[in-house]
A = this chain, B = another copy of it.
Amino acid sequence: MVPMQNNLDVKFTNFIQNIFLLPDDVLEDVIMHFQHLEHPKNHILLQQGKTCKHLWFMTKGAARYFYTNEEGKEMNTWFSLDTQVIADTTSLVSQEPSEENIQFLEDSEMYSIEYSVLQSLLQKHHSFALWYIKLIEQHYVAQIEDRIADLQFLNATERYQKLLSLYPEITNRISLGNISSYLNITQETLSRIRAGKF
């Protein structure tokens, strides 16, 4: 249960209200079902094989999504920086075991809501269901389709440049190994790209 006085909470409510404006009473009912959390760097938020039981709204920090392949190599599938929704969507919506891990790359702050609570709020408030539709549309569909196009049509150098233009500060916050894995290239190749060797 979240008291609504301090700055962080204002940031969070703005995040919620920017997705789709909720009536005051609904906003209040929704917000009070969120829990404020902090997790340190390296904390594993969701583990491969476990079902994703929460939806998180990160207000500060950085996280990676990754899975460990047959050879034991960790492959990053996604990054979230600062104000972002976090969840393994596939596992959350199906309530089946996740195929990936979610781990923080910085000390991070977030608000969480349980899947069952989310479902009952969707049943309870028509406006919250409309809000959730906007959330999915904006945060999953748009971003994800973009990523498909990148993987399908851009080469390694172009993928890196696009990531840089989207997150100019990413190289100060996330290691080259983690970035290269997300870009689907090796660390060596990314190093050469940065040195301008292609």
Interface flag for A75 (CB, 8 Å): yes
Instruction: Please name all residues of chain B whose beta carbon is closer than 8 Å to the beta carbon of A75 when the two chains form the complex.
Output: 152-153
Interface of A is mostly: helix
- Per-residue 0/1 for A68-107: is the Cβ within 8 Å of any B Cβ (1 yes, 0 no)? 0100000101000000000001100110000100000000
Whether the Cβ atoms of A152 and B151 lie closer than 8 Å is yes
Q: Smallest CB–CB gap between A35 and chain B, Å?
A: 23
Task: State A129–B168 Cα separation when bound (angstroms).
Answer: 38
Whether the Cβ atoms of B149 and A148 lie closer than 8 Å is no
Instruction: Please name all residues of chain B whose beta carbon is closer than 8 Å to the beta carbon of A145 when the two chains form the complex.
Output: 89-90, 144
Instruction: Please name all residues of chain B whose beta carbon is closer than 8 Å to the beta carbon of A1 when the two chains form the complex.
Output: none
Task: State A132–B90 Cα separation when bound (angstroms).
Answer: 17
CB < 8 Å: which of B69, B123, B133, B140 contacts A141?
Answer: B140
A-B contact pairs, 5 of them (CB 8 A): A77-B149, A93-B137, A94-B142, A126-B129, A144-B148
